[in-house]
Amino acid sequence: MDTDIGGLTVIFTEFYYWVTVVMMFLIHVGFCVYEVGASRRKNLQHTLMKNTMLIPVISVTFFLFGWWLYWGTVNGPWINGGISVAPFATPWSELMGTHMGGAPVTPDLTAGDTALWARVNGVFWAAFLLFSWTTASIISGSIIERVKTQAFLIIATIVGSVTWIIDAAWGWSPAGWMVQLMGYHDAYASGVVHAIAGGSALAVLIVLGPRIGKFGPNGEVRDIPLHNPWLVTIGLFLIYTGFWGFYAACNIPIIDIDATEEAVFLSATNIYLMPTTLSAITFNFILSLSGGLMVGYMVSKANPFWTYSGGLAGVISASAGNDLYHPIQAFIVAAVCVFVAYKMHYWVERKFKIDDAVGAVAVHGYCGFFGVVIAGVLLWGYPAATPSGDPGVAWFGSTAEGFPAINPIGNFLGAIIMFWVLGFIPIYIVAKILSAFGMLRVPAEVEIAGLDVGKYTDPYPNFSAAEPEFERIQRSQQK
Amino acid sequence: MTGLESFANPTTIGPMYPFVGSEGFLTIVLVAAWLIWQIWQIGSESREMAEQSRKARENRK
């Protein structure tokens, strides 16, 4: 802030992240609209309140410990070093409040800390917080119409303020041990947001079980009609819009990337401080969206739900490498992954009787997993990040300059860590505990009657209630 | 006085909120508020769910 250009850079960075946070709010608006549309009339207010209340619960816990976990656990800890010191990220830090950047009051901070963090800590914290909401909200949609809000909020807290942010520390930070030692690369969070959310959703779905009547006595799959397909599509449009803000939020907007002392070369970078441009990621966002929409439309035979979901899944699939791909590569990655994920969704549904109400495991989990794996192949040999310690020590190869190199093994193992190790396993255990205490699933008679019934008034009092075919089946199954 | 009395020399200004030094206490308040709300939510939903369940069973008879 002591020169004009320095001051403008800081103020621009602060404003940039603030704008991305506001844009990303649309993701949550979209998820709420989408889930309400996907719920039946008798459940929609319960669905809305469940997803809305993750906002305060995750925000509070992310303030208390989530933000510190991002900075404190980059080394594992004890994989590539110990617990990192992050005095600007503790809830009692003066830098977690209104601050002008002058000399610190508390002894654990330096003047450099306050000068750097005073104006960016809040907006940077909020950007990561919005990613937390998204990660938890992905799970929310898959388990609608039978999960208790109390269980969901506990799971949301663990995913939103613990497991996802640890995976971000490991694989979505230039100093993260997965980046430094494995060459892990996941620029726009195919794995660190979507694969972990998909893995977590699958764990809850297995413990929770399907909605009553979803599967017939001979294992046949019954379609549960959406309450309002238009809300679903508007919700997904809003999620697309917010996702653009998410892409911008994953970048550092302006920084000197020239390694020499003599020259200055200002550029945007990805989260790993490696160069990219807003122009590149805009190309790639739109082409991967297009690839996903076209294949989603094709494989679902123009089903609106799967066409829109295909667009979202396409972006998720290409996100790991969308800082560097050519737009046509992004298109192809999206198209292939959406085709495979769509087929896998129905195969898993039939084979394992998994009732994923919105296809979240496929759209986020499978596409996020495949997207990370493909990025490891297509970007093989690119520098992943500047070495934080000794150069040339990465497990699966380094560049000639000693930078950890992006590679297929590192990204494949990284995808497993995201989906299974940090996504599936912890949440499976938590869901089992919640189930054992009777906190996970609503009673059958409440599920049949509707989760809104007896608590909320009819949201459509001027429309007559029609009982669709599935409701009759569900009711008969209870007798 | 709860905090600053002048913005005349902004380069020297650090924390600007009132009662600087109370951050530890404020953290304890937030932890308590979070846990109390979470426990209340679990209890409240469990009671409501039991009532909804009772009504649903009665309606079936």
Distances (CA, A) of A326 to A276, A343, A358, B7: 12, 26, 30, 50
Per-residue confidence band for A479, with pLDDT thresholds at 50, 70 and 90:
low
A445/B53 CB distance under 8 A: yes
Token digits of residue A341: 């994920």
Name residue A177's beta-bridge partners: none
Residues of A in contact with B41 (CB under 8 A): 53, 149-150, 153
pTM above 0.90, yes or no: yes
Provide the 3-class DSSP secondary structure of residue A40.
Answer: coil
Residue B48's closest chain A neighbor by CA? A455
pLDDT at A440 over 80: yes
Three-state SS at A66: helix
Report the run of H or E that residue A268 belongs to, with start and end. Answer: strand A266-269
Q: Which of B10, B13, B57 sits opposite A445 (nearest CB)?
A: B57
Shortest alpha-carbon distance between residue B1 and chain A (Å): 17
Nearest by CB to residue B12, choosing from A103, A154, A443, is A103
Is some CB atom of chain A closer than 8 A to the CB atom of B8? no
The answer to whether B21 contacts chain A (CB < 8 Å) is yes
Q: Are A94 and A109 a contacting pair, CB within 8 Å?
A: yes
Give the ipTM.
0.96
The terminus-to-terminus CA distance of chain B in angstroms comes to: 67
**A interface mutation test: which of B7, B12, B13, B40 has the most A CBs within 10 A?**
B13
- Among partner residues B13, B17, B34, which is closest to A102 by beta-carbon distance? B13
Tokens at residue A270, please?
């990805």
Coil, helix or strand at residue A210:
coil
Give the tens place of pLDDT for each residue, A130-185: 999 999 999 999 999 999 999 999 999 999 999 999 999 999 999 999 999 999 99
Nearest-Å Rg of the Cα atoms of chain A is 23
User: Is the distance from CB of A186 to CB of A317 less than 8 angstroms?
Assistant: no
Beta-carbon separation of B27 and A104 below 8 A: no
Examine the pLDDT at A433 and tell me if it is beyond 70. yes
Tokens for B32, please give them.
Answer: 């308590």
For residues A375 and A427, what is the distance between their CA atoms, to the nearest angstrom? 26
Identify the pLDDT of residue A1: 64
Considering only the beta carbons, identify the residue of A1, A97, A442 that sits closest to B49.
Answer: A442
pLDDT tens per residue, range B5-59: 999 999 999 999 999 999 999 999 999 999 999 999 999 999 999 999 999 998 8
Of A355, A343, A357, nearest to A305 (Cα)? A357
The residue type of A400 is A
CB-based contact (8 Å) between A456 and chain B? no
* B58, two tokens: 């009665």
Q: Is residue A324's pLDDT more than 70?
A: yes
> Which token pair is A88?
């600007």
CB A211, CB A146: distance < 8 Å = yes
CATH class (in words) of the domain with range A4-86+120-478? mainly alpha
Q: Name the phi and psi angles at A99, rounded to 5.
A: -155, 140
Contacts of A148 in chain B (CB under 8 A): 45, 49
To the nearest whole angstrom, how far is the Cα of A48 from the nearest Cα of chain B? 15
Q: Which chain B residues are closer than 8 Å to A445 by Cβ? A: 53, 56-57, 60
Chain pair A-B, CB pairs under 8 angstroms: 96
- Mean per-residue pLDDT, A226-244: 95
Cβ contact (<8 Å) for A453 and B49?
no
Write out pLDDT tens, residues A331-346. Answer: 999 999 999 999 999 9
Q: Does B19 reach chain A within 8 Å, measured CB to CB?
A: no
Q: Which residue of B has its CA nearest to A106?
A: B21
Handedness of CA A304, A305, A307, A312 (dihedral sign): positive
Confidence of residue A4 (pLDDT cuts 50, 70, 90): confident
| Residues B41, A149: C-beta atoms closer than 8 Å | yes
Cβ within 8 Å, pair A104-B49: no
In the beta sheet, which residues pair with residue A269? Answer: A252, A275
Other C-beta atoms lying within 10 Å of the C-beta of residue A102: 18
Residues 6+ apart with CB under 8 A from A169: A69, A70, A71, A72, A73, A74, A176
- CA A396 to CA A294: how far, in whole Å? 36
Q: Is any Cβ of chain A less than 8 angstroms from the Cβ of B26?
A: yes
Cβ contact B51–A64 (<8 Å): no
CB contacts, 8 Å: A1 with chain B? 11
Residue length, chain A?
A: 479
Over residues A48-55, mean pLDDT: 98
Of B15, B33, B45, which is closest to A97 when you measure between CB atoms?
B15
* H or E, element range at A230: helix A229-249
Distance CA A223, CA A159 (A): 29
Q: Average pLDDT for residues A439-448, to the nearest whole number?
A: 96
- Reported as a pLDDT band with limits 50, 70 and 90, residue A292 is very high
**Between the CA of residue A449 and those of A13, A211, A224, A472, what are the distances in Å?**
51, 13, 15, 12
Out of A98, A100, A150, name the one closest to residue B42 (CB).
A150
- The rounded percent of chain A whose pLDDT value lies above 70 is 99
Residue type, A447: E
Integer Cα distance of A131 and A246 in angstroms: 8
Which of A50, A60, A26, A30 minimizes the C-alpha distance to A129? A60
CA A168 vs CA A12, A171, A344, A402: distances in Å: 25, 5, 27, 23
Distances (CA, A) of A340 to A220, A335, A365, A370, A371: 22, 9, 12, 9, 12
Residue B28 at interface with chain A, using a CB cutoff of 8 Å:
no
Q: Which residues of A touch B53 (CB under 8 A)?
A: 443, 445-446
Chain A: closest CA distance from residue B12 (Å): 5
Cα separation, A171 vs A75, in Å, equals 10
| Contact in structure between A442 and A146 (CB atoms under 8 Å) | yes
